[in-house]
Amino acid sequence: MTDKPIALISGAAQGIGLACAQALAEDGMHVILADIKDSVHAAAATLGGAGYVCDFSDPAAILALFDRIEAEHGPVAALVNNAGIALPGDFLAYDLADFDKVIGLNLRGVFVATQRAAKTMVAQGIEGAIVNMSSINAQVAIPAIPAYCASKGGVMQLTKVAALALAKNNIRVNAVGPGSIDTEMMAGVNANPEAFKTAMSRTPLGRPGTAREIGDVVAFLCSRKASYVSGETIYIDGGRLALNYTC
C-alpha cells in the first residue's frame, strides 16, 4: 500500500502514456503503468512505480487488473485511458475484424476502465479524475483510418457522458486530443520529407508536439488546478483545428 494518491495509466510502456506517467509522478502520485508490452515493468521502475501487463481490449483483464491494483496498492484516484491502436486501411476494403479490434481497445476498453475506476471512487468517496485519450480525429478525419476516427469521436462523447454521470460524486472526466505528436505512430511521417512537410503545413506552430507536452496537460487535468474542468476535450495540436487554409 502507498500513502500517495494512485494514478493508473494504460498504454504506458512508451510514448504519450509514459510521458503522462512521468508528469504525474513528478506531481507526487504513485504511478501504476499498464501495457500489453513486457517493457512496462522497466518503464515503471524508472519512475518508482509499478508495472502490469494488461490487454485493455479484454474487459475481463481490465477488471482483474483493477482488483489486483486495489489489493496490492490501494484505490485508483486518477485514471488515464491512453492505450490505443489505429490499423489503417482502404475504406472500401477495410476489414471488419480490424474495425472491431480498434473499437474494442480504443472505445470499449475506455468505457470498461472508466466504469470500473468510477465504481471504487464512488464507493470510497474519492473525488477522482479520469482523462481519456481522444484525438483531433474526433473532429476531423483521415480516410485511411476509419475505425480510429470513429473510436476517437466515441471517446469524446463518452467523456461527456461520464462527466455528467459522475459529477454528483465530484469525479471529473475529461479528454485530450493530440494532433501531430512526435511518437512511434508518427515515425512513418517523420521518415518521409514530403509527408512531414504536408503535416506541418496544417500545423500553424510549424512543428510536431512532444509526448511530454501531452503529459503535462494530462497532469493538469488530474490536478486540483483543474477542479472546475469536466466534460471537456482539450486539443493539443499546435493550432491545427483553428486553421482555415494551408499555403
Catalytic residue positions? 148
- DSSP for 87-138? ----GGG--HHHHHHHHIIIIIHHHHHHHHHHHHHHHHT---EEEEE--GGG
Q: Which residue has the cell 480525429?
A: 137
Q: Which residue has the cell 511518437?
A: 183
Q: Which amino acid is at 69?
A: I
Q: Are 9 and 24 in contact (CB under 8 A)?
A: yes
Q: Which amino acid is at 45?
A: A
Q: Which residue has the cell 504511478?
A: 31
Q: Are 114 and 132 in contact (CB under 8 A)?
A: yes
Q: What stretches of the chain show up as alpha helix (H) in DSSP?
A: 15-26, 40-45, 59-72, 96-103, 109-124, 146-166, 187-190, 193-201, 211-222
